[in-house]
C-alpha cells in the first residue's frame, strides 16, 4: 500500500507527475534527491506505474497468470426413482448429451500430422493487455480466443475444437436409502475440457416419485389403513402392506 499511496500522490500533484513521466520512480523517490538529473533514461510511463501497482494487488499485472485451456463444465442430470428403488438401491443406465474429447486428434484440435502453434498475438499466454486511462486491463486474446494456440490445419472430426457433441450412456449405481434432493457425483463425466484439459463432473440429482400407498418421512414409512368401528373399539388384527408386497 506504500506504492498505492505514492501513486495517488503522483496523480494529484502535477509537478510530481511530470517528474515521474520523465524519470520514473526515481524521480519521485526522496532517497534519490528528487530526480531531475541524467542517468534515469526516458520511457517511464505513469500508466505503467498504476498497472504494476494495482496489477500486483489484484493479480492482473504484467505477465499475469496464464489462462490456459479451460476445464470442462459440470453437468446435472435429474433421475426419477420409485420409492422401492430409493429404499433398496438400484443401478440404472442414463443417456447424457455432452461434449467429449475428440479421439482422432486426442483433444488437440489439430489434424493428424500437424500441431497447434503458439499464438503470435499473446505469445501463448491467452491474454492481452489493454490500456484504459491509467489502468492496464487484461482480457482474453481476440486472436486465439484465450487458448494461447492457433490451429491452422484443424481436425476433420472436431473442426479444431478438440471435442464434439455426443450422447454418452453411463451406468449409475444408486445406493440404498437415497431421498429427493440427494446428489451423486460422477467425477470426470461432465463436459470435456478445452484442448485436452480435464473434464467436468456429472451430478445426478435424485427425485423420488410419490408412492400410491406410502408416505416417506426420513427413514420411516407411513400409510393409512381403513378399519371397522368394531376393530377400532374392540381391537383386532389387520393386514398392513409393505414394500415387499
Each residue's pLDDT tens digit, 140-159: 888 888 888 888 899 999 99
Residue 163 belongs to domain with CATH number: 2.60.260.20
Burial 140-158 (b: 16+ CB within 10 A, else e): ebeebebbbbbbeebbebb
In the chain, where does DSSP find H-type helix?
Answer: 2-12, 14-23, 46-58, 83-88, 229-234
Q: Do 12 and 53 share a structural domain? A: yes
pLDDT of residue 132: 74
Q: How much is the average pLDDT of 8-23?
A: 58
Q: What is the pTM of this model?
A: 0.62
Q: Which residue range forms the structural domain that includes residue 134?
A: 119-150
Is there a domain that residue 219 lies in?
A: no
Which cell numbers hold the place of 31? Answer: 532517497
Give the domain-ending residue among 14, 33, 58: 58
Please tell me the number of Cα atoms within 13 Å of 59 on its side-chain side. 3
Q: How much is the average pLDDT of 68-80?
A: 90
Q: Do 82 and 173 share a structural domain? A: yes
Is there a domain that residue 25 lies in?
A: yes
Q: Do 83 and 198 share a structural domain? A: yes
Is there a domain that residue 220 lies in?
A: no
Q: Do 75 and 168 share a structural domain? A: yes
CB 201, CB 98: distance < 8 Å: no
Query: With pLDDT > 90 as the criterion, what percentage of the chain qualifies?
Result: 36
Q: Do 191 and 102 share a structural domain? A: yes
pLDDT of residue 244: 80
Each residue's pLDDT tens digit, 76-121: 999 999 999 999 999 999 999 999 999 999 888 889 888 888 899 8
- SS3 category, 214: coil
Is there a domain that residue 234 lies in?
A: no
Position 55 confidence tier, pLDDT thresholds 50, 70, 90: very low
Is there a domain that residue 170 lies in?
A: yes
Q: Do 80 and 105 share a structural domain? A: yes
- The CA distance from 90 to 226, in Å, is 32
Amino acid at each position: 500500500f506504500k506504492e498505492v499511496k505514492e501513486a495517488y500522490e503522483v496523480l494529484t500533484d502535477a509537478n510530481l507527475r511530470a517528474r515521474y513521466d520523465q524519470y520514473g520512480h526515481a524521480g519521485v523517490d526522496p532517497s534519490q534527491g528528487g530526480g531531475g538529473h541524467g542517468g534515469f533514461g526516458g520511457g517511464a510511463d505513469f500508466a505503467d506505474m498504476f498497472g504494476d501497482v494495482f496489477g500486483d494487488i489484484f493479480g492482473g499485472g504484467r505477465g499475469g497468470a496464464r489462462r490456459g485451456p479451460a476445464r470442462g463444465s459440470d453437468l446435472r442430470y435429474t433421475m426419477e426413482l420409485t420409492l422401492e428403488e430409493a429404499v433398496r438401491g438400484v443401478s440404472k443406465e442414463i443417456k447424457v448429451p455432452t461434449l467429449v474429447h475428440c479421439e482422432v486428434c486426442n483433444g488437440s484440435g489439430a489434424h493428424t500430422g500437424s500441431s497447434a502453434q503458439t499464438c503470435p498475438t499473446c505469445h501463448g499466454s491467452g491474454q492481452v493487455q489493454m490500456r484504459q486511462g491509467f489502468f492496464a486491463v487484461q482480457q482474453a486474446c481476440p486472436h486465439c480466443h484465450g487458448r494461447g494456440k492457433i490451429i491452422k490445419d484443424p481436425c476433420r472430426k472436431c473442426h479444431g475444437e478438440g471435442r464434439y457433441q455426443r450422447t454418452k450412456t453411463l451406468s449409475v449405481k444408486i445406493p440404498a436409502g437415497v431421498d429427493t434432493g440427494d446428489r451423486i457425483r460422477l467425477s470426470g463425466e461432465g463436459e470435456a475440457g478445452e484442448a485436452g484439459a480435464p473434464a467436468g463432473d456429472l451430478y445426478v440429482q435424485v427425485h423420488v416419485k410419490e408412492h400410491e400407498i406410502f408416505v416417506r418421512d426420513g427413514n420411516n414409512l407411513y400409510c393409512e389403513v381403513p378399519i371397522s368401528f368394531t376393530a377400532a373399539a374392540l381391537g383386532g388384527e389387520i393386514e398392513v402392506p409393505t414394500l415387499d408386497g
